[in-house]
Amino acid sequence: MSFSNTLGGQIIQSLSWILILLFLGPLFDSVFFAENYFEHSQWVNNTLVIIVFMFFYYRGTSRIRQQLIYALIIGIVGEYIFSLGLNMYSYRLNNIPHYIPFGHALVFLAVYNFSRKPKVRVSHKNIELFLTISIVIYAVVLLIFTNDIFGFVMTLLVFLLLRKYPKEKLFYLTMFAVVGYVEIIGTSFGCWVWPKIAFDTFEILPSGNPPSGICLFYYGLDRGTMSIYKRRNKKIWERFKKIRAISLN
């Protein structure tokens, strides 16, 4: 058996590239990089992420192309609403960096591909258990050490939502982990910052920087992307569900 056909191989194949990109991107947009190497360093990240997006778009199937575009559009709208409109968080240059919506789409693609890998699906219960324990520990640690009540409440809401979508549990738990990863990196590098209270308004909800359960809002992007695709491709989606049901049985 080749390494690509093992569980470890399929995890690395589907997630390693996005984890590397999610580290390099914020690094190029960091305060440190801008002050010591290139003042307009955000454009380095913009260029890098857009090139990666175009690579996956042009080599992707019709389905991947559609989902990337839908995720990109929803990501743009969401960023302007939550960042500039509701002051939920703010970016280093008080703008919406171009790489952010493209990055949202790429995260969706990576997690979606990961959750569909054969070995991953076979081992989904063990992976889900590991992710659940890790997420609970992460949320509790931030609650204790950063008074992250906002993030903890969102984490609880995530688990409540997962009860409604049990078949997509692996996808959403993985998305939570990947989003938590990039939030820690992005805030550590000073690319964006979360206010001390939710939406810089609700004192009853103190927030960490970052809050733990922010992935709750990513789910709007995920559900929106899949919903648009299903509505525009009803016959293809029905055929896919039949194939998935057969494979699970």
List, for residues 13-39, the tens digit of each pLDDT value: 899 999 999 999 999 999 888 888 877
Residue 96: Cβ-neighbour burial (10 angstroms; 0-12, 13-18, 19+): middle
Which amino acid, residue 217? Answer: F
Task: Report CA torsion sign: 118, 124, 130, 136.
Answer: positive
**Count of Cβ atoms closer than 10 Å to residue 146 Cβ:** 17
Q: How confident is the model at residue 189 (pLDDT cuts 50, 70, 90)?
A: very high
**Sequence-ordered list of residues with C-beta below 8 angstroms from that of 79, at least 6 positions apart, any chain:** 96, 100, 101
- At residue 41, what are phi and psi to the nearest 5 degrees? -70, -20
User: How high does pLDDT run on average in the chain?
Assistant: 87
Per-residue model confidence (pLDDT) at position 140:
97
The 10 Å CB-count burial string (b at 16+, else e) for 71-83 is: bbbbbbebbeebb
> Closest by alpha carbon to 149, among 91, 83, 185, 202?
202
Rounded Cα distance between 230 and 102, Å, is: 21
Evaluate if residue 1 carries a pLDDT over 90: no
* DSSP per residue, 117-158: -HHHHHTHHHHHHHHHHHHHHHHHHHHHHH--HHHHHHHHHH
Q: Please, which residues bridge with residue 193 across strands?
A: 90
List, for residues 30-75, the tens digit of each pLDDT value: 988 888 887 788 888 899 999 999 999 999 888 889 889 888 988 8
**Sequence-ordered list of residues with C-beta below 8 angstroms from that of 47, at least 6 positions apart, any chain:** none
- At residue 87, what are phi and psi to the nearest 5 degrees? 55, 35
Evaluate if residue 199 carries a pLDDT over 70: yes
CB 124 within 8 A of CB 170: yes
Q: How confident is the model at residue 166 (pLDDT cuts 50, 70, 90)?
A: confident
Evaluate if residue 239 carries a pLDDT over 60: no
Evaluate if residue 245 carries a pLDDT over 80: no
* pTM, two decimal places: 0.89
CB 208 within 8 A of CB 149: no
- CA 104 to chain centroid, in Å, comes to 6
DSSP 8-class letter at 165: -
Q: Name the E strands within 5-119.
A: 90-91
Evaluate if residue 224 carries a pLDDT over 80: no
* Percent above pLDDT 90 for the chain: 58
